[in-house]
Structure 1
Amino acid sequence: MENTNCREGGSVIKNKKCIQKLSKHMPEASLATAKKKLEQLQDITTQSAEFGEEIGQIIAQLRKVAAPSNEPFLFTSVLTENETLLRAVFRDCEDIEFRIFDAGGRKALLVYLKGMCDTSNLERNVLKSLMGQTSPTNGNTVNALNGLNDMKAISEQILGSASVRIVNKANIVIEAIMAGNALLLIDGLEEGAIIAAVKHVKRDISAPYNEYALQGPDEAFNEEINDNIALIRRRARDTNLKVHIMTVGERTKTSVAVLYVANLVKPGLVEEVERRIGLIKTDKLLSSATIDQFIVDHPWSPFPQTQTTERPDKMLAALYEGRVGIIVDGTPVEILVPCTYNILMQAPDDYTMQPIVASLIRFSRNAAAFLAIYLPAIYVAVVSYHPGMLPTTMAISIAELRARTPFPSFLEAIMMEILLELIQEAIIRLPLKLTGAASMIGAFIIGNTVVQAGLINPLLVVVIATTAISSYSMPSYNFSMALRWTRVPMLMLASMLGLYGVILGVLAITIHLCSLRSFGESYLGGMFNVDLLSDWKDSVVRLPAKLLKERPKEFGAQDQIRIGDSDGQSGS
C-alpha cells in the first residue's frame, strides 16, 4: 500500500493509502507470466522423468556388459551394490520386500515377494538364526560369522530352513524370488542363498468336478503343481516313478512336470515328450490346453490326441501302463500321452463294477459314439432320398408329419442343431444358479413350442435328442465336442448324396482316425491290428481283474507282466 490518489464512488481522494495489484510494480508476477512459468516447470519435470528413465536403462546396460548374455547382471561382494542391482530389476514392484538386518556384525539382506512367502518361516529359521550370532564372551563381542567365509557353510551351520540352494546367477535368483522363494545376501559374499519358503493362497484338494466316479476316490488335482505331484506320490511308493520339471513361457516361467515310470515307459517316449515341450515358444502358459495344442501331431483334427484328466488315480493307472503324464502349474486338468480311441472310451467306473456290466456299458458307449455322429445324417438321407427303405406305415406317418412343416428335412436338422448348440452353450456359460432355468427353457422350446408351432418335425426332435444324449455319454468331453463337430459335415453329405454321402462320410472319418498318430501310436489302427488282439480284453470289453495279467501292447511297455509270474514274483 502507498499514499496516492484513490478513486471511490467516482471521486478522487488525494494522499490516501490504497491496495493495488502487485503486477503493477512487478510485471513478472502477473497471472499470465505465472501460467507460462508453470507450463515450463511441467515440461522440465516431464523431461527429467524421461531423462531419469533413460539414465536407468543406460546404467542397466552398462552393468550388463560384464555379465554373460543370458544374465541381467553379476553379483558382487558388496551388499549395497547387490541391493542396488536388485532394486533396479524390481523397479516399481512394490510387493517386493527388501529386509536389511544385522547378522552378527555383518549386514545382510533378505528379499522376498509379499503374499507368496512364508514370513513366519523366515523369521524363525533365517532372521532369528542370523541375528542371534553375536554373543558376549568375557566382556567381548564374538561374531560367529567371522569364521564362515562362504554361504554354503552358513547354510549348513546356522540356517534352520529345510531347503537352501546356493546360487550366484542373477536369472536364477530373479526367477526364484518371483516363484515365492526368499533370497539371502550377506555383505562380503558374492553368492546368495535361495530359501524355499513358498506359501500362497491356493485351493484345497476337492472332489472331481467333471470326472465323478460312483465308487472311486474323491480327490482331484488342484492348481498347485507340488500338491498334484504329491497326490501321485502318495499313491505309489515306487522309486521308478520319476518326475522331471521344466519351465515354459518366456514371461510366466510356468513349471511343467513330466511323470513316467522308468522301467515301464517305451524307450524314447519321454525324450520325445520333453523335446516337444522344450520347443514351445510362447510368452505365457496359463493352462494345459496350450501345451496340448503345441505337442499334438495333427493340430487341425477335431479329435483329441491327448487325454485330459483331473483324477490322480487315473493318471497313476496310465503311468503304470507305460504312458507319460504332464502336470502344468496353475491348472487342475492334466495331460496323458499317448492317446487312442480305446483310451477315450474308458471311464473310472468301469473298474469298480462287475466286468460283464462294464463290458456292456463300453459297448453302449461305442454305439452312442456312432449315433452321435451319423444318426441325424441317416435320418435326413432316408427321409429325403430313400423313404422306400422304411416300413410302409412308418413312411406314411413320417410323410404326414412332414406335410405340416414348411422346411425340408435338412434345413430342419440344421435349425435343431443350431438351437441345441445355443442351449448347451448358454447352460455352460451362465452362472450356476441360472443353469436350471436355462435347461427348463430349452426343454420347453425344443419339446413343446417348436413342434406346436409347426416348424419342426416331431420325429426329428426325437432324433436330435437321442444324438445329444449319445454325445453326453462320452467319458471325454473333448471327444464329445469332436462328435458334435462332425455331425454338420455328415448332414451336408446326406442332404446332397443321400445314403451314398453317409457311406462316404463314414469312410472319410474312419480313414482320418486311422491316419492319426499320437506320439507314434495309431489312434484307431490298434483295434484292427491282429498283433494287438490281446488288448481287446481291456478295450472293447473288460475281463475280470485277475485275467488282466498283461499291460496293453499298443503302448510298448518294457515289462508286459502286470500281476506276477507263476512263481509268485511280482512284476513291475
Structure 2
Amino acid sequence: MKFKDFWKRSTSAKISRRPAAATTKTEKTPLLSGLKENIQKIKSDLGNSTDIIFREVRVGKTGENVMGILYTDGLVDKNVITDFIMESVILNSRITEVEQLLTSTHDVVHILKEYVLTIGDVKEIHCFEDLYHSLLSGETIILLDGHTEGIAVNTQGWKDRGVGEPSAESVIRGPREAFSETLRTNTSLIRRKIKDPNLWLETRQIGRVTKTDVAVMYIKGIVNEKVVEEVRLRLDRIDIDGILESGYIEELIQDDNYSPFPTIYNTERPDVIAAELLEGKVAILVDGTPFVLVVPALFVSFLHAAEDYYHRADVSSLIRILRYVGFLIALFSPSVYVAITTFHQEMLPTQLLVSLAAQREGIPFPAFIEAIMMEVAFEILREAGLRMPRTIGPAVSIVGTLVIGQAAVNAGIISAAMVIVVSTTAIASFVFPSYSLANTIRMLRFPFIILAATFGVFGIIVGIIALILHMCSLRTFGVPYMSPFAPLILKDQKDAIFRLPQWAMFSRPRLINQNNVRRANNGPSQKPKPRT
C-alpha cells in the first residue's frame, strides 16, 4: 500500500471518529462613545476588581481630548506604562504639529498611534470582548471620550521563573537550559537554535474561560503539510472551558484514548524540540507550562535521549541497547519469576532451585501474592517520595527500601529473592528518558504478573503477542507507532536501536517527512578520512 493511500485512510477514519465541536456564534458588543459609560460597564462586568487600575488623562495643551488608561496590576510593566504611554501622551500631544492634528481631525486614534505613542506593539479594538481579552492578558487599554474604538498597547511584564536547568530531564552533556511557564520565552529559546525564516509559528486561544495561548511551530518545507493540517483540525475542535497545562491538550488530541502507551511526546528541553522540528515534526507550546508537546511521536522516541547525539556513536549505541534491555527487565522480570517458581521449576538449575526453596520455607504467601505486595509497596513508596517535600522525600525512600524490606524478610513475610527481583525491576524502570513510558511499564507490569500466576510462561507469551499486536495497531497522527520496526524500514534503522555516526545519518525518517528528506547534500562523503 502506498503511503499516500495509507495516510488518506488513516486520517479520514480518525476524523470521522471525532465529532465536530459545537460552535456557537456570539455577537460582539461594540464600545460605547462615552468614556464614562465605557469605564462604568468595564468595572461592572469585572466585578469592580481592585487590580484593574484606571487613570484619566487630558490630551493637548487645552485638554479638550479626554483619555482613559486601564491596565491590570501585576500583569504589566509599570515602567513601560510610565515612560512610553503616560509620558508620550502628555508630552508629545503638546507639540504644536501634533496638537494641530488632534484639533483638526476626528481620527484621534490614528494620530495617537502614528505620532504620539512611542511603543511598538499597538492595535485597535472595537468591542468589549477584545478589550477584556487584551486587558486580562497584560495589555494596557487606551479609550477616548467620544470615540467607539480604543487602543491596546502590549505592556506585559509579569514575573516569571526564567530560564533554568531542566528538572525532569537530567543533563550530562548538552545545553542546560529549560523551558519556562512563559510562552514567548519558550518560542525565543527555539528560535535561538533554529535561525531559519521557514520556522513558522501559529498561535490560537483555546478555552472559553482561560483563553490559553497555544502555539504551533514547524519548519516549512520540511514538515509534512498533512500533519500540520491535522494538528490544526484537532486543536480547533477542542471545546472546553479551560486549558491549564499541556496535558489537557495531549488528552484531547491524541489518537487512542484507551491505550497505555503515550502517542504524544513531551519535553522541557529546547534542544530536543529543535532536533524534533528538524526531523519534520510539529511542536505544540502551551502558555503556563514548561512542557512542550511533539507530534508525531514514535515508540523509539521515548527510548532516545538528547545525549545520544552529543556522545560518540559507539557509546550512544551501547547506552540505547541498555535501555531496551532495561525495558524488558522492567516489564517482564516479576512475571517471569512468578511463572518459573510457580509452574516451571524444572527450568532452574538444581542448586538455585534448592536455594529458592530454602528461602521460601515458612513464607505464608505464594509467589504471586508476594510480587503484588512488593510491587504495590514500592509504588506507594515511589509516589510518597515524589509528593513529599524535597528535604524529606529521599529519607522516605531510604527508610522504605532498607528498613521495611529487611524487616519483611526477617519476619518471614517476603522472600529475599523476591526483594531482589522487585529491586532490579525498580532500578530498570529508571533508565527511560521519558517519564510517560515509565508510567506505561508500571501499569503493564501487573497484568503480566496475573497472566504468569494463572497460565505460567504460556500466559506471558500470549500477553506479549497481544501487546505487540496492540502496539502495531497504534497510529500517531497517521504515522505507524512502531515505525521503523513495523513497517520495517531499513534506511531508518540507522537511528533506531543503534545510532550511526552523524555523517551516516544524512536522511530524515521516511514516514514522518515526505518533502525535504535529505539532511545534507553530500551525505556519506562527509566521513572523516585519516591524514596520510
- TM-score, length-normalised on structure 1? 0.84
Query: Given the alignment, which residue of 457, 461, 471 partners 1:503?
Result: 461
One-letter amino acid of the counterpart of residue 283, structure 1: D
Partner residue in 1 for 2:161: 203
CA contact (8 A) 1:108 1:185 kept: yes
2 CA distance for matches of 1:567 and 1:271? Answer: 34
- Cα distance, 1:507–1:149 mapped onto 2, change above 3 Å: same
One of 331, 335, 356 as aligned partner of 2:289: 331
| Cα distance in 2 between the residues matched to 1:221 and 1:495 | 45
Please give the root-mean-square deviation of Cα atoms over the aligned residues, in Å: 1.9
CA contact (8 A) 1:71 1:169 kept: no
Q: Write the distance in 2 (CA, Å) between the matches of 1:89 and 1:411.
A: 61
Aligned match of 2:15: none
Could you say if the C-alpha distance between residues 195 and 135 of structure 1 is closer, same or farther in structure 2, counting changes exceeding 3 Å?
closer
Instruction: Say which SS state the counterpart of residue 335 (structure 1) adopts.
Output: strand
**Counterpart residue identity of residue 102, structure 1:** R
Single out whichever of 328-337 and 182-191 deviates more from structure 2: 182-191
With over 3 angstroms needed to count, the CA separation of the structure-2 counterparts of 1:546 and 1:183, relative to structure 1, is same
2:331, 2:512 → 1: CA distance?
Answer: 28
The answer to whether residue 508 in structure 2 is matched with residue 561 in structure 1 is: no
What does 1:52-131 align with in structure 2 at a 5 Å threshold? 70-71=26-27, 73-104=29-60, 105=63, 106-131=65-90
Per-residue Cα deviation, 1:126-179 (whole angstroms, up to 9, x for no partner)? 222222256497xxx955521343222320111111110112122111101100
* Contact 2:102-2:111 at 8 Å conserved across structures: no
Aligned partners of 2:430 and 2:438 also within 8 Å = yes
Aligned residues: 498
Counterpart of 1:57? none
The correspondence for 2:114, drawn from 156, 163, 180, is 156
* Structure 2 equivalent of residue 355 of structure 1: 313
2:433 is paired with a residue of what secondary structure? coil
8 A contact 1:182–1:195 mirrored in 2: yes
Question: SS at 1:464's partner residue?
Answer: helix
Instruction: Work out whether 1:299 is the aligned partner of 2:257.
Output: yes
Given the two structures, how large is their TM-score scaled by the length of structure 2? 0.90
What are structure 2's unaligned runs of at least 5 residues? Answer: 1-23, 527-532
Shift of 1:274: 1.5
Aligned counterparts of 1:329 and 1:566: Cα–Cα separation in 2: 39
Runs of 4+ in 1 over 4 A off after TM superposition: 133-137, 141-144, 566-569
1:73 and 1:85 in contact (8 A); partners too: no
Task: Give the 3-state SS of the residue equivalent to 1:246 in structure 2.
Answer: strand
Give a deviation string over 1:38-83, Cα, whole Å, max 9, x none: xxxxxxxxxxxxxxxxxxxxxxxxxxxxxx9624521133222222
**Matched-pair contact (CA < 8 Å) for 1:345–1:362:** yes
Structure-1 separation of matches of 2:198 and 2:522 = 20
CA–CA distance in structure 2, aligned partners of residues 250 and 136 of structure 1: 44
Aligned counterparts, 1:381-420, within 5 A: 381-420=339-378
**Equivalent-residue separation in structure 2 for 1:476 and 1:155 (angstroms):** 49
Q: Is the deviation greater in 426-435 or in 71-80?
A: 71-80
What is the CA distance between 1:375 and its match in structure 2? 0.9
SS at match of 1:308: strand
Q: Secondary structure at the match of 1:472?
A: coil
Give 2:8's aligned residue: none
2:66 match: secondary structure? strand
User: Contact 2:506 / 2:524 at 8 angstroms: preserved in 1?
Assistant: no
How far, CA to CA, are the matches of 2:395 and 2:320 in structure 1? 33
| Larger CA deviation: 313-322 vs 520-529 | 520-529
- In the other structure, the counterpart of 2:336 is 378
1:221-236 correspondence runs (5 A): 221-236=179-194
Residue 452 (structure 1) aligned to one of 410, 419, 422: 410
Distance of aligned partners of 1:501 and 1:143 in 2 relative to their CA distance in 1, 3 Å threshold: same
Instruction: Provide the C-alpha distance between the structure 2 equivalents of 1:99 and 1:504, rounded to a whole number of angstroms.
Output: 72
Relative contact order higher in (CA < 8 Å, ≥ 6 apart): 2
1:251-330 map, 5 Å: 251-330=209-288
Once the two structures are TM-superposed, the CA of residue 566 in structure 1 deviates from its matched residue by: 7.0
Residues 175 and 502 of structure 1: CA distance in aligned 2, closer, same or farther (over 3 Å): same
Describe the superposition over 1:342-370 as per-residue Cα deviations: whole angstroms up to 9, x where unpaired: 11110011112121111111111111111
Determine if contact 2:200/2:220 at 8 Å carries over to the other structure.
Answer: yes
Partners of 1:246 and 1:84 lie apart in 2 by 30
Question: Match for 1:559: what amino acid?
Answer: N
Query: What CA deviation, in whole Å up to 9, does each residue of 1:494-535 have, x standing for no partner?
Result: 0010011000111111111111111111111531323x2111
What CA distance in whole angstroms lies between the structure 1 residues aligned with 2:371 and 2:403? Answer: 15
Distance 1:134 1:301 in 2: 63
- Taking the aligned partners of 1:288 and 1:320, their CA distance within structure 2 comes to 22
Q: Contact 1:355–1:544 (CA<8 Å) still a contact in 2?
A: yes
CA contact (8 A) 1:257 1:327 kept: yes
C-alpha distance in 2 between matches for 1:381 and 1:70: 62
How far apart in 2 are the matches of 1:111 and 1:556? 48
Letter in 2 for 1:433: T
Q: Percent identity?
A: 35
CA distance in 2, matches of 1:526, 1:142: 69
Cα distance between partner residues in 2 of 1:515 and 1:110: 58
The one-letter code sitting in structure 2 at the alignment partner of 1:253 is K
One-letter identity of the residue aligned with 2:57: F
Change over 3 Å in CA distance of 1:262–1:142 after alignment to 2: closer
Tell me, what secondary structure is at the counterpart of 1:132? helix
Say which one has the larger Rg.
Answer: 1
In structure 2, the residue matched to 1:56 is: none
CA separation in 1, counterparts of 2:448 and 2:34? 72
Structure 1 residues not aligned, in runs of 5+: 1-67
Report the alpha carbon displacement of residue 233 of structure 1 after superposing the two structures with TM.
Answer: 0.8
2:493 paired residue number: 536
Distance in 1 between the 2:25 and 2:482 partners? 48
Alpha-carbon distance in 1 for matches of 2:93, 2:404: 81
